[in-house]
Amino acid sequence: MTVYRSRNALAGPFTPSSVHDVALPRTRLGQRGYQPDDVHALLDRLAFELGERSRQLHQAHAENDRIKNALRAWQTDRVAGC
């Protein structure tokens, strides 16, 4: 069975190696730099994924705090009951 791999550099979640391996197309002969639309698309995608990861990290911290507080309350109830 063969695994399909997209040739699009923007496909799938970004990893450090996938960002490092991105090859943006050059402008036409006689012009310098990269195609602005391609650069903006890459930056938009990076900004979205970083925002999403930041949101997920915030949720994980909030859940961790909720569990810690529940454990502390449970421990307090157990000590008070003895």
Neighbouring residues of 10: CB distance < 8 A, sequence distance ≥ 6? 22, 41, 42, 45
Q: How far apart are the first and last CA of the chain?
A: 61
The whole-number mean pLDDT for each consecutive block of 10 residues of the chain, a chain of 82 residues, reads 50 72 74 80 85 92 98 93 76
- Beta-carbon count within 10 A of 68 CB: 10
Exposed e or buried b per residue across 4-34, where buried means at least 16 C-beta atoms within 10 angstroms of its C-beta: eeeeebeeeebeeeeeeeeeeeeeeeeeeee
pTM: 0.59
